């Protein structure tokens, strides 16, 4: 019933989106007529923004002649279609002054941050399309982060580097609705997150290629982050990044609990992850919670560390419920099912060093204690099925907390070939059936502080070499 409800709500959202976008018609405005020059040298921010503002008066389309257009932050307005045609590249300025500081949420907390290269803020009925390229010129921003982190690490400020290295996102959709992004557009070399959908609803991403690993591998170059938003569809994405690829977020720690906005009614489908943290990720910013999420027909290639990745921390809080993930193809993915509620402690737990003066306000927000009763995340009602994984290192790496177990998970029709079976800990009322786990070492899944039904049928550790012995999930010979 919940699944039907999710799809009904999603279909209503897409219908509203289609109706809104249909209203965005011609006339078309050529940015070159407003002074834009595609020479790769001239800063075109003013000319491009003037074109957008003119088109917004009548609900028009903005386009460009072939060329490379250097620009700072652009703000797409209601009713406007921004067309980036084949042969056109918008490339971001390397100067921070060209990205105005504005209120936003970054990495889970609300704070001022440089505007993205392309922004849809407090707007509706917007379309960004075309087969051209939006290029963040990432290496300069990546270097700024690594240089700062090298200074911070010895001071116990690893967690602060992400917030003090002010790197522009590539594309931000914030407080907006009826937004469409796609049409074959290429997004590349983002300075920070590539696409952030924040506090928005009725958003469709259809047909984007994200290429962030050109000229280096930038830190935190997430692909598509859906952050405290609802009614979002992502399909036909082709992603090559150096962090989370398709990721759901909902705020961090005390600030995320204060905002308390979930991510809900989301569909992720028909996409490929060439490089990134996982095929699909929930977290680590989980404070506002997640509900009615479906992800399917996803492929992740060799070198991607995880297939399904749920991550949080004991200060995050929040929940996840009615999560449906199915029909995944994982080729050489290290850990097909990876769940941890104690993610990356040096980043997750902010502590201001003793004696530190002139502490920025957002440090204090990050370091605000969260009581255990509020800080433990609760994930429940999760169904994962039809997963085909080959070349894995560890089939399962799952853990939470005994006082906040992972509840009511169902895993079925998993077909995993791995070096070893791995561990499932802190699981309550799990049902596992019709699974095939083939392991090089013949190991069976180790259960710790867990209750799992149908274990005899659930998992069979079958060695790829040596004897033809099979063991059931408890390790007994059959």
Rounded Cα–Cα distance for residues 185 and 257 (Å): 35
- Residue 32, classified by CB atoms within 10 Å of its CB into exposed (0-12), middle (13-18) or buried (19+), is middle
What pLDDT score does 472 carry? 34
Its CATH architecture, for the domain 2-463, is 3 Solenoid (2.160)
Residue 110: strand pairing partners: 105
Among the listed residues 292, 300, 287, the one whose alpha carbon sits nearest the alpha carbon of residue 322: 292
Rounded to the nearest 10°, the torsion over CA 429, 433, 435, 441 is 60
What pLDDT score does 453 carry? 81
Per-residue pLDDT tens listing for the chain (478 residues) = 445 444 544 444 544 444 444 444 579 999 999 999 999 999 999 999 999 999 999 999 999 999 999 999 999 999 999 999 999 999 999 999 999 999 999 999 999 999 999 999 999 999 999 999 999 999 999 999 999 999 999 999 999 999 999 999 999 999 999 999 999 999 999 999 999 999 999 999 999 999 999 989 999 999 999 999 999 999 999 999 999 999 999 999 999 999 999 999 999 999 999 999 999 999 999 999 999 999 999 999 999 999 999 999 999 999 999 999 999 999 999 999 999 999 999 999 999 999 999 999 999 999 999 999 999 999 999 999 999 999 999 999 999 999 999 999 999 999 999 999 999 999 999 999 999 999 999 999 999 999 988 654 444 555 444 322 233 333 222 2
What pLDDT score does 13 carry? 52
What pLDDT score does 19 carry? 45
What pLDDT score does 407 carry? 98
Residue 245 token pair: 């690829």
Whether the CB-CB separation of 424 and 452 falls below 8 Å is answered with yes
Residue 442 token pair: 């013949």
Rounded Cα–Cα distance for residues 241 and 124 (Å): 28
Question: What DSSP designation does 470 have?
Answer: -
Helical residues (DSSP H) of 217-359, grouped into ranges: 253-259, 345-348
What pLDDT score does 222 carry? 98
Rounded Cα–Cα distance for residues 254 and 366 (Å): 7
Residue-range domain boundaries for the chain: 2-463
Query: Distances from the Cα of 180 to the Cαs of 99, 126, 465, in angstroms?
Result: 23, 6, 51
User: What stretch of H or E contains 268?
Assistant: strand 263-275
Rounded Cα–Cα distance for residues 245 and 281 (Å): 8
What pLDDT score does 20 carry? 46
Whether the CB-CB separation of 395 and 336 falls below 8 Å is answered with yes
What pLDDT score does 467 carry? 29
Supply φ then ψ for residue 356, to 5 degrees: -70, 130
Rounded to the nearest 10°, the torsion over CA 361, 364, 365, 371 is -160
What pLDDT score does 61 carry? 98
Whether the CB-CB separation of 192 and 241 falls below 8 Å is answered with no
Residue 310: strand pairing partners: 282, 339
What pLDDT score does 454 carry? 60
Model confidence, pTM: 0.92
């Amino acid at each position: 019933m919940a699944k039907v409800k999710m799809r009904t709500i999603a279909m209503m959202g897409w219908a509203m989106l289609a109706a809104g976008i249909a209203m965005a018609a011609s006339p078309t405005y050529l940015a070159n007529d407003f002074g834009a020059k595609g020479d790769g040298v001239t800063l075109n921010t003013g000319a491009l923004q003037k074109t957008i503002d003119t088109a917004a008066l009548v609900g028009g389309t903005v386009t460009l002649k072939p060329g490379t257009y250097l620009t700072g932050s652009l703000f797409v307005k209601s009713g406007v279609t921004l067309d980036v045609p084949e042969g056109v590249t918008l490339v971001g300025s390397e100067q921070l002054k060209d990205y105005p500081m504005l209120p936003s949420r970054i990495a889970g907390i609300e704070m001022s941050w440089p505007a993205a290269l392309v922004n849809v803020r407090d707007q509706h009925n917007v379309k960004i399309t075309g087969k051209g390229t939006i290029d963040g010129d990432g290496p300069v921003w990546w270097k700024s982060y690594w240089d700062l982190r090298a200074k911070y690490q010895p001071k116990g400020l690893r967690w602060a580097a992400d917030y003090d290295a002010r790197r522009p996102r590539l594309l931000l959709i914030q407080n907006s609705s009826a937004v469409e992004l796609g049409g074959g557009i290429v997004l590349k070399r983002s300075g920070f997150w590539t696409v952030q959908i924040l506090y928005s609803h009725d958003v469709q991403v259809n047909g984007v290629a994200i290429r962030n690993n050109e000229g280096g591998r930038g830190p935190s170059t997430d692909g598509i982050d859906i952050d405290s938003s609802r009614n979002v569809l992502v399909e036909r994405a082709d992603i090559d990044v150096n962090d989370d690829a398709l990721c759901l977020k909902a705020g961090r720690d005390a600030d995320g609990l204060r905002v308390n906005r979930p991510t809900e009614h989301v569909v992720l489908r028909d996409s490929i992850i060439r490089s990134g943290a996982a095929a699909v990720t929930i977290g680590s910013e989980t404070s506002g919670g997640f509900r009615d999420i479906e992800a399917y027909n996803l492929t992740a290639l060799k070198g991607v560390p995880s297939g399904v990745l749920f991550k949080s921390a004991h200060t995050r809080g929040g929940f996840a419920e009615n999560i449906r993930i199915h029909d995944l193809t994982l080729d050489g993915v290290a850990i097909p099912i990876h769940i941890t509620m104690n993610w990356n402690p040096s980043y997750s737990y902010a502590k201001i060093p003793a004696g530190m003066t002139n502490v920025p306000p957002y440090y204090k927000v990050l370091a605000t204690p969260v009581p255990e009763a509020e800080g433990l995340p609760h994930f429940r009602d999760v169904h994962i099925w039809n997963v085909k994984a080959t070349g894995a290192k560890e089939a399962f790496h799952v853990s939470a907390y005994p006082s906040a177990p992972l509840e009511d998970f169902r895993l079925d029709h998993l077909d995993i070939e791995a070096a070893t079976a791995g561990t499932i800990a802190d699981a309550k009322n799990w049902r596992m059936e019709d699974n095939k786990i083939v392991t090089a070492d013949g190991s069976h899944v180790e259960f710790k502080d867990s209750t799992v039904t149908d274990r005899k049928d659930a998992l069979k550790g079958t060695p790829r070499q040596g004897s033809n012995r099979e063991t059931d999930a408890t390790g007994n010979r059959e």
